[in-house]
Amino acid sequence: MDKKVAKRTVFAMSKFTIPDGKQLIVELCEKNGGRHQSFVIESEDLVRTREISELEVK
C-alpha cells in the first residue's frame, strides 16, 4: 500500500457496554510478521457509535 493512501477500517460487533473506568484494548498482529497495532475503546467512545443497518463492501 502506498504510504500516502488513507484507509479506513470498520469493525462491526454486537452491542456491548464497558463499565466506567474500564477499557477494551483491541490488538491486531500480523501473522509471521512484525507489524502490530492496538487501540483503546472506553465507555465514552461507545456513546458515539451508530448502528449499521446496511453494509456495502467495495
pTM of the full structure: 0.58
pLDDT band, residue 2 (cuts 50/70/90):
low
How confident is the model at residue 27, as a pLDDT?
93
Top-confidence residue, 36 or 56: 36
How confident is the model at residue 1, as a pLDDT?
58
E-assigned strand segments in the chain: 23-29, 36-42
Nearest to 15 by CA among 48, 46, 56: 46
How confident is the model at residue 13, as a pLDDT?
80
Per-residue model confidence as pLDDT tens digits over 3-54? 788 877 777 888 888 888 899 999 989 898 888 999 998 888 888 888 887 7
